Structure 1
Amino acid sequence: MPVLKPKLRLPLLVTALAAGLVLGLVGCATPPPPKDALKQAEQTPPAWVAPLPHGGQATALQDWWSQFDDPLLGQLIEQTQAANPTLQQAVARIKQARAQATQAGSAQWPNVNLNAAAQRQRLPLVSGVPTQTLSTASLDAAWEIDLFARVRQQRDAAEARAQASELDWHAARVSLAAEVAQSYVSLRACERLTQISAADVEAMTRLSQWSSDKLKVGFESTANDALLQAAAADSQNRWLNQRAECDLVVKALVSLSGRPELELRAQLAPAFAKLPSSPGLQVAQLPAATLAQRPDLAAQQRQVLAAWSERGAAEAARYPQLQLGGSISLSALQVSGGPKIDGNGWSFGPSLSLPIFDAGSRLANADAAQARFDESLAGYRAAVLLAVREVEEALVRLDAAQQRERYAQSSADGYQRSAVATAGSWRAGLASAAELEQARRLTLNAQSALVQVQAARLAAWFSLYKASGGGWQPEASQSIPGGTAL
């Protein structure tokens, strides 16, 4: 019996030696993270080319919604984020990604299973065979020794994608806030235009009546009266169209917030036609490093890291895999009520898998993973370039709108004075109906242009809010529904 011991241990020894040789190659198979590639993709200009509003003076660009004089705007954003289906979907994706990360991380630990069975039988074909009762229990364990970090890199990839899903939630919140704010301002601007159209309807109704009275006594021509009657009808058409546009914006807010329309209309009614304003909302500094605040770019970066880890895992799958396995079993056999016969056994040992020939399948998987990483990195570069463009465009629009507003205000005031004077001259018979209609149209267009410029200025602020990441800070702790804080 002693001479058999070396023969029994020889396979274990050979396997252990092979495992030692493989472990010596681990350092060569684990590539470093792509820091240089990410740094190159993140290259941004040292300063924005577009001019900063107010010459870069005053307070920093933060606490956006609390700076507006309309508390309903902040309340509506908060209510929308609490019930918006898009954010609820993002939360569900976070939970899925976290579960997948937990599943991937569990692969680096031993897999232990407890099995138990009991069976009572009697063979039907042979008479007189006693009844047998067999009971078994076993504890099995298996553990992959992660020689080339395949399991670890799969875990890293899953964790990076889980982080990306959390950052996507932040990005969705920022985007939703900007969308709600833009819809809210569009509604208020639309209501203001409705007010202007309603005042125009009232004025033209009165002028058309005066024209009819003057026509009856011969102080107005038929052509001039027809022109003013047509202008009155046109004002009614504009007013009805503008009111319908406002209803459509309300419908959009109902869809975003998920609130009943009657309830939302009641909440919106007190501030009818009042555009929010914030004289204190200014830009002190907006360096190019502001892009680091954008959760969508941070999420894209995590996707790049995940693709890099998956590339490493695919490469590691081309190399040998070592597993340790073991089992402990207990059994008991009883025949026709006789004494129990107990027995137990155990096994333990490594197993090494050496890929020899697979017709290039593993190499193709590694090449595909490398291509996916290249694609993800290129997408990240594109996202960075787009983010720079969005900030620049928002700054350009904001600067232009703030410069245009004073001229639009001056234009509206001047045309209003001209229209009032022309109406007085027409009533005195010193101006024609054509002059009156022209003055009316110029005034209406100038007042509408002023409202549109004011709304464009607010929209530029909201675009800058979104382009700068919404004030989100990577180092700040922000709570995520159903999970830990970032």
Structure 2
Amino acid sequence: MISVSPAPLSVARPRRAVLLLLACTALAGCVVGPDYETPKIDVPDRFGADTATTPRPAELSRWWTRMDDPMLDAMISEAVEGNLDVASAKAAIREARATLRQTGGTLAPQVDASTSATRQDGGSNTSAGQTSNSNFQAGFDASWELDLFGANRRSIEAARYGLDAANEDLRATLLTLVGDVATYYVQARGFQARIKLAERTARSQRETAALTRAQFEAGASSALDVANATGQAASTEAAIPTLQISFAESVHRLSILTGKPPAALMGRMAEDKPIPEPRLPMPAGVPAQVLMARPDIRVAERQLAQSTALIGVAEAARWPDVSLSGTISTSASTFGNLFEASSIAWSVGPSLSVPIFNGGQLKAGVEIAQAQRDQSYIAFRSSILTALEDVENSLFGLTREQERYDKLDTSARAYRRAAALSRSLYQTGSSSFLDVLDAERSLYSAEDTLLQSQINIATYYIALNKALGGGWDGQIDSTRPEIVDTYSGPRLAYQP
């Protein structure tokens, strides 16, 4: 890098300095590097798993309210307000805004002021007889980089895209949060329902075991029947602690998602409530709608735009850099003479910096930026494919799980009839007790599997809404900091 700085202009040539400034300003409209254009990505006309004859737009606004559970609605609102990931994403937005303002300042002139006052004593043996003197100085230094090839403007462009990405990242965080709260809430209610079923079944099996024991004592049953009945009741009871552990873990996760200690929601969740049932069928819309709604895709697109702008920053470093600098200074032996015309000096002039030889570093910097842009483009395409895959998986899973639920419901009703019939036949002596145990075991398994299928339907419904880009659509205040410093101005460094 070689730097050329002309001598300061004399007082007789201020007009020439003005003309030079105007000429440089006229040149300051150039930029180098590629201009960003949103890539065009081909997507299918419809989702392969969508069985609707005519696809309807997805209903994403506050989709969780269509599960008709006021407690779930309240917990999602609490999570949006108190979740720590959301707070971190809001802080990232504030950082991106400040970065944009900081980068924007590079286009403005930079002005610094300085002043000094000194008192000098030459000692009693000074030959001139003057033992002390004073000196007062003041001045302003100004500089302005003309940004001829747009390095600063490209940096501002990149910072603006970074702010866009930060805003979309907040939306992505909220989307994930809403989906996670709904999922863990459904799981918790599902474990509650399964615990109730296990307790109810174990209680019935204990009653059967007690009846069998009474019949054995009366000589109407065998010790084998008593052992089988007791063992089956104990086996069902043994499943309850495992379900309780899973319920507690789901509630603990819910509490963390809302920004509270793990056990904070145990009291509110203790009351049994049904598993939320979504309103079905749910329209999935068309793939193009996903590209507009998914915040992770929009984050990737903004990051691609940002990396494209940074190519211009790297490219501009290979071109000459022109700046205009000036100084005004005054110096006097007394403060009163400091601002007299005879004490004031000034200078103004341009400086030119031209890269001559740098061992290929600047060219390599451009290639690095281009490679990073390619990585961002690939990440953008990957996010689209991932989004389409998420929708297809969720849509297909929801459709097939509904079909499975219908079959399981038929199976559970049949096993209920079989269990009642086997008890009647056993009481009349027309069937063995093993038939009763087998029927009760099959009934419990069928009812528990039916509950799990109900949980799966709600979970697939949640996953589909997440895949389509449904998240929080309310207002979020990202201007308020988490920590407010009470006083950060000048103060004594020593604190006793």
What band does the TM-score fall into relative to the shorter chain? 0.7 to 0.9
| Aligned mates of 2:115, 2:336 — CA distance in 1 | 22
Match of 2:188 in 1: 187
Match of 1:47 in 2: 46
Give 5+ residue unaligned stretches, structure 1. none
1:227-306 maps to which residues of 2 (within 5 A)? 227-260=228-261, 263-270=264-271, 272-279=272-279, 282-283=282-283, 285-306=285-306
* SS of residue matched to 2:142: strand
Match of 1:201 in 2: 202
Given the two structures, how large is their TM-score scaled by the length of structure 1?
Answer: 0.88
Q: Which amino acid letter does the alignment assign opposite residue 208 of structure 2?
A: L
CA-CA distance at 1:286 after TM superposition:
3.7
1:274-423 maps to which residues of 2 (within 5 A)? 274-279=274-279, 282-283=282-283, 285-334=285-334, 342=340, 343-423=343-423
Change (3 A) 1:31 1:448: same
CA-CA distance at 1:469 after TM superposition:
1.0
* SS of residue matched to 1:107: helix
| Aligned mates of 2:315, 2:422 — CA distance in 1 | 82
* SS of residue matched to 2:134: strand
Q: Which amino acid letter does the alignment assign opposite residue 481 of structure 1?
A: S
Match of 2:494 in 1: none
* SS of residue matched to 1:220: coil
Q: Which amino acid letter does the alignment assign opposite residue 213 of structure 1?
A: A
Does structure 2 retain, via aligned residues, the 8 Å contact 1:53–1:395?
A: no
Query: In the alignment, is residue 104 of structure 1 matched against residue 103 of structure 2?
Result: yes
Match of 1:85 in 2: 84
- Structure with the larger helix share: 1
Change (3 A) 1:286 1:437: farther
Q: Which amino acid letter does the alignment assign opposite residue 31 of structure 1?
A: P
Change (3 A) 1:95 1:338: closer
* SS of residue matched to 2:194: helix
1:108-257 maps to which residues of 2 (within 5 A)? 108-123=107-122, 127=126, 128-257=129-258
Give 5+ residue unaligned stretches, structure 2. 1-8, 481-496
Aligned residues: CA RMSD: 3.0
CA-CA distance at 1:22 after TM superposition:
11
Change (3 A) 1:213 1:376: same
Change (3 A) 1:69 1:472: closer
| Aligned mates of 1:403, 1:370 — CA distance in 2 | 50
Does structure 2 retain, via aligned residues, the 8 Å contact 1:26–1:148?
A: yes
User: Matched residue pairs, number?
Assistant: 465
Describe the superposition over 1:372-420 as per-residue Cα deviations: whole angstroms up to 9, x where unpaired: 1111111111111101101111111111122222222111111112112
Does structure 2 retain, via aligned residues, the 8 Å contact 1:98–1:162?
A: yes
Identity %: 29
Match of 2:464 in 1: 464
| Aligned mates of 1:25, 1:256 — CA distance in 2 | 49
Q: Which amino acid letter does the alignment assign opposite residue 330 of structure 2?
A: L
Change (3 A) 1:237 1:32: same
Does structure 2 retain, via aligned residues, the 8 Å contact 1:174–1:470?
A: yes
Does structure 1 retain, via aligned residues, the 8 Å contact 2:426–2:433?
A: yes
Change (3 A) 1:56 1:370: closer
Describe the superposition over 1:100-133 as per-residue Cα deviations: whole angstroms up to 9, x where unpaired: 1111111011111222222222245964543222
CA-CA distance at 1:478 after TM superposition:
4.9
Change (3 A) 1:231 1:55: farther
CA-CA distance at 1:310 after TM superposition:
0.6
CA-CA distance at 1:30 after TM superposition:
4.1
Match of 2:34 among 31, 36, 46: 31
Does structure 1 retain, via aligned residues, the 8 Å contact 2:189–2:273?
A: yes
Change (3 A) 1:241 1:32: closer
